[in-house]
Amino acid sequence: MINYGLAGRVVAVTGGASGIGLASAHLLARDGARIAILDLNADGIAAAVAAIRAVGGTAEGFEVDVRDETSVGHVGAAVAARLGPAYGLVACAGVSGAAPSADLPLEELNRVLSVNSIGMFLTCQAFGRQMLANGGGAIVAISSVAGFGGQSARLPYVTSKFAVNGIVKTLAVEWARHNVRVNAVAPTFVDTPMIHAHVPKPFIDAIFDRTPMGRGAQPDEIAAPVAFLLSDAARLVTGAIVPVDAGLTAGFLTRGKGADLASQRLLAAGTYTEA
């Protein structure tokens, strides 16, 4: 296993009871980090903490609504009291949603932005204050490939991830002189409960056909880049939005998992076939 050099460091993980957050918490705990699991799901928090402790890791659970500034502030203080001041934050809490833009209710836009963007900022602010006071730290937010371009009927989610990218870059500029690094990973579709609940399989299959590696990601494949960005190996990396997408955003004229060579001459020569 790769050693990320995080032993003894306190890392808070929002959305840590499932999906990418849970996978990140497990990987960071195996590396020796002291993990604070932050989530709304009390049962999920208890299960995540128990699983980490069962393999010798250190974890504490904290129930929090990232949309609530007061709640986030209290949890930040509680994490510092029980585990120590935070060195790192993985801002992973998020929700999805879909509606045609012409019929989009304002409350739906607010619902998604309040978690994915405002909630992300509030947690960065609360834990960033600890890092600023202690002379350094690292934050990794979970963005998305949806933060690189528009997508029909998903204005709230797309907007929220563009906002995440803007928050990351602004905090990176503002806090760099204090040795606090702020980055994001932008995953492709990840095999999580949220994806299965909200995205139809034919759409996912079409995306994978346009992905050079021909597939999406497992949560642990996102957790590893998160750990790298938290580690001292990335000590000169800040303000980056890192695609972890199997090549999806490398090019927009991709079909057949990169096998469609888009050339009449090559097609006529039998180099490949239109299937």
Residues carrying an active site annotation: 157
What would the two tokens of residue 111 be? Answer: 């619902």
φ, ψ for residue 184, nearest 5 deg: -145, 150
Q: Find all residues with CB under 8 Å of 255, minimum gap 6, and list them.
A: 209, 210, 262
**251 class by beta-carbon count within 10 Å (0-12 exposed, 13-18 middle, 19+ buried):** exposed
Placement of tokens 């129930």 in the chain: 63
From residue 233, give the alpha-carbon distance in Å to each of 2, 138, 158: 12, 12, 30
